[in-house]
Amino acid sequence: MDSSNLPSAPMYEIRLYGTPPESLRERYPSMAVRTTPAQTVLFRQVEGAGELDELLEQLRSVGLALSELHMEPSAADSMRAS
């Protein structure tokens, strides 16, 4: 099966108070991290609710408090809207 025709997993924007430890970055190497003065913003594709729950639990387990969580529109959705 040609995987290029399969829809990609949704991207989530996860805003946190605090900076994630290096061990969390190592566990999720595909995660993009942007730190702002008051928050850290993570971007990661998530395959399903279970994977999202696992990621959020990992964040809580290292003492990071969730500020906001948003599913990002996909590139295909953005193109259809224009």
Q: Return the residue matching tokens 């969390």.
A: 24
Domains of the chain by start residue, with CATH: 9-81 (3.30.70.1150)
Cα–Cα distance, 70 to 21 (Å, whole number):
22
pLDDT band at 21 (very low <50, low <70, confident <90, very high): confident
Higher per-residue confidence, 19 vs 49: 49
pLDDT band at 4 (very low <50, low <70, confident <90, very high): low
pTM of the model: 0.53
| Confidence (pLDDT) at 53 | 93
pLDDT, tens digit (0-9, with 9 covering 90-100), for 55-69: 999 999 988 888 889
At 34, which amino acid appears?
R
Cα–Cα distance, 64 to 4 (Å, whole number):
35
